[in-house]
A = this chain, B = another copy of it.
Amino acid sequence: MSKGLPKRSEDYSLWYNELVKKADLAENSAVRGCMVIKPYGFAIWEKMQAELDKMFKDTGHSNAYFPLLIPKSYLSKEADHVEGFAKECAVVTHYRLKNAEDGSGVVVDPAAKLEEELIVRPTSETVIWSTYKNWIQSYRDLPILVNQWANVMRWEMRTRLFLRTSEFLWQEGHTAHATKREAIAEAEQMHEVYARFAEDFMAVPVVKGVKSESERFAGALETYTIEALMQDGKALQAGTSHFLGQNFAKAFDVKFQSKEGQLEHVWGTSWGVSTRLMGALIMAHSDDEGLVLPPKLAPIQVVIVPIYRKEEELEAIADKVKEIRAALLKKGISVKFDDRDTFKPGFKFAEWELKGVPVRLAMGPRDLANGTVEVARRDTKEKQTYELAGIEDTVENLLNEIQENIFQKALSFRDERITEVSSYDEFKQVLEEKGGFVACYFDGTKETEDKIQDETKASSRCFPVDWKDSEEGPCIITGKPGKKFLFAKAY
């Protein structure tokens, strides 16, 4: 097949858009900013969901489901929250259509106007905390450790498939605790879970950090973030976990009786990752030939392509493939046998490369005779012929090696692009010439952030939690006391 993918080096942005479409991951829909996630893309998301869901349950969380629509007045109850979300939300005002009098179709029925408008949830803190009010009376009711998998809407003006869409899929954890200490521990635990997921499953190295005050979630006292680096040197916020303090408990009057008999406000957290992770996954590893998927998240881990001229040859190969397949499936490895007779091997090779299948086996009559098979790995494009005997172990080891290799490759790339600078001139130079993360002392103010953003298009990403608090020095812009922060151009 002809891939017709632009090169990353020529137009990274176009390369990404085309790759998402050509690899059958997603496409734009007729509704502005809303995407269709196609079966192959959704299969990757399902694998992500399954792993994350397991990690959430292993840390004591249960799933639940809360309403899609939120009364307008709820949004206003937490001042920062409404400020953060009111300007980009879909508003339901009516609950009925009727036939147009001129017969031109259906129109909104003015008689069916809602007394109070409803907002399609941009996030669910408000509707969830209004529910928690009824669930929590005493310290015995705490903690509440709940997650929901849901769709949310934020009316984005400029959208890009997976990275920024008006509707997206995500999970949002919402927990309630008796003490500040416990709530902070929860927010930090989920921060760690996200980092582990990104690195161990997506093979995407991340910086774990905390956001500056102005970059916090609307309504949070602290926002923990994981920041990944894409191949064009731009950062991508891949997941956030928020310590909400007592903000939503106060807004929705959620109190509990403590062991000591005092009535106190509950402490909260929320945390989420979304289909944006798909964008991170694609941009972190893929190349000019197409997707490169980490084996742990690849819907198809191994594809087997028969090389034959005559029907009998195909039959003989198919018999052998049956055995190989069974041996691989027994190890939990997913396999597709591409025996379509409408396409040539070269076309198939290109298609599975485009779709990022980690390992490809090719087998012809000569292989059959010799008891061998040609094994190609997607990440390095190396090909090698192996003995058929024990091929399941060979493939299993190779999948592990690929998972590790693409992580290490992304890690080297990222580590080479964290640059410490000590002046604003140096900051600008590094940003222009090298990209990636620029580390510098920063006074933490919105004024400084805005100045840097306006002049360089870089935004403050985070203060890495693994750095010592002692990393303090004069802000490169204002000279005021600052902490060492990471800045980058970002998605």
Residues of A within 8 A of B (CB): 27, 29-31, 34-39, 42-43, 46, 62-76, 82, 86-99, 105-106, 108, 117-120, 127, 130-131, 134, 140, 146, 150-151, 153, 155, 167, 169, 342
Minimum distance in angstroms from A84 CB to a CB of chain B:
12
**What separation, in Å, do the CA atoms of A167 and B121 have in the docked complex?**
13
State whether B29 touches A127 (Cβ < 8 A): yes
Q: Which residues of B contact A63 (CB under 8 A)?
A: 39, 42-43, 46
* CB–CB A89/B93 < 8 A: no
Going nearest first, the 7 A-B pairs with the smallest beta carbon separation are A39-B62, A34-B67, A86-B97, A37-B65, A76-B105, A91-B94, A95-B155
Q: Are A95 and B105 in contact (CB under 8 A)?
A: no
Task: State which of B38, B140, B151 has its C-beta within 8 Å of the C-beta of A151.
Answer: B151
The contact of A127 among B30, B46, B82, B99, by CB within 8 Å, is: B30
Is the pair A36, B96 in contact by a Cβ cutoff of 8 Å? no
Complex partner residue of A67 from B36, B42, B62, B74, CB under 8 angstroms: B36
Give Cα A150 to B120, complex, Å. 15
- B contact residues around A38 at 8 Å (CB): 64
- B106 in contact with A167 (CB, 8 Å): no
Contact A91 B98 (CB under 8 A): no
Chain B positions within 8 Å of A27 at CB level: 131, 134
Q: Contact between B42 and A75 (Cβ–Cβ < 8 Å)? A: no
Q: Chain B's nearest CB lies how many Å from the CB of A333? A: 17
Q: Which of A30, A96, A98, A108 counts the most chain B CB atoms within 10 A? A: A30
Copies in the complex: 2
Closest Cβ neighbor of A151 among chain B residues? B68
Docked-complex contact B90 and A69, CB < 8 angstroms: yes
Q: Is the CB of B30 within 8 A of A130?
A: yes
B169 touches A72 (CB 8 A): no
CB closest chain-B residue, reference A37? B65
New contact pairs (6) apart from A29-B127, A90-B92, CB-CB < 8 Å: A29-B131, A31-B71, A91-B92, A92-B93, A96-B155, A151-B151
A66 vs B169: C-alpha distance when bound (angstroms):
11
Quick check: B131 and A36 within 8 Å, CB to CB? Answer: yes
A–B Cβ pairs within 8 angstroms, 9 of them: A30-B71, A43-B62, A68-B153, A75-B106, A76-B105, A82-B105, A87-B98, A95-B155, A151-B151
Instruction: Across the interface, name the chain B residue whose C-beta is closest to A74.
Output: B30
**Is B95 in contact with A91, judged by CB distance below 8 angstroms?**
yes
The answer on a CB contact under 8 Å between A89 and B82 is no
Which residues of the other chain, B, contact A119 by a CB distance below 8 angstroms? Answer: 97
Return chain B residues, CB-CB under 8 Å to A68.
Answer: 34, 68, 120, 151, 153, 167
Using Cβ atoms and an 8 Å threshold, which residues of chain B touch A34? 67-69
Q: Which residue of B lies closest to A144 (CB)?
A: B39
Q: How far is the CA of A437 from the CA of B113 in the complex (A)?
A: 40
**Residues A65 and B169 in contact, CB atoms below 8 Å apart:** yes
For A105, the chain B residues whose CB sits under 8 A away are: 72-73, 76, 82
The minimal Cβ–Cβ distance linking A200 to chain B, given in whole angstroms, is: 24
Asked whether, in the complex, the Cβ of B120 is within 8 Å of the Cβ of A120, the reply is yes
The residue on B at minimum CB distance from A342 is B140
A87–B91 CB distance below 8 A: no
Q: Which residue of B lies closest to A90 (CB)?
A: B92
Residues on B with C-beta less than 8 A from A90 are 69, 92, 94-95, 118
Q: Cβ of A67 and Cβ of B29 under 8 Å apart?
A: yes
